[in-house]
Amino acid sequence: MPLDLATKTTDDIAALRSRIDTIDSEISALVAERREHSHSIQQIRLAGGGPRTQLNRENEVIAHYTDRLGSAGTALAHLLLTTCRGTLQAAGQSAADVAGERRA
């Protein structure tokens, strides 16, 4: 491979990797923002006596990612929902509350 082509290829790869790094930073910031909004929604639902999550809404999110990205989108949606769902305590619900919901 000629030196000029090798240098250009190396420069192209470096530029593309830099863009990927920027995209990854944006994605992680958006996931953190999504998680905050998700926790707020969960707290509002719980305060109103509702469930912490809504299966139909989660299914809509999964379908959106699956339609866009195929089976990898399905896996990504599940990971995103799990990440944004958070812990019971973060959502303002105790383990005892959950146990009560299961018995009800």
59-88 per-position pLDDT tens digit: 999 999 999 999 999 999 999 999 999 765
Q: Comparing C-alpha atoms, which of 81, 84, 82, 78 is closest to residue 37?
A: 84
Q: Comparing C-alpha atoms, which of 88, 87, 83 is closest to residue 99?
A: 88
Digit-coded pLDDT (tens) for 36-50: 999 999 999 999 999
* Stated pTM of the model: 0.74
In this prediction, residue 8 has a pLDDT band, given cuts at 50, 70 and 90, of confident
- What is residue 56's three-state secondary structure? helix
Q: In the chain, where do the E strands start and end?
A: none
Crossing angle (nearest 10°) for helices 71-85 and 3-47: 50
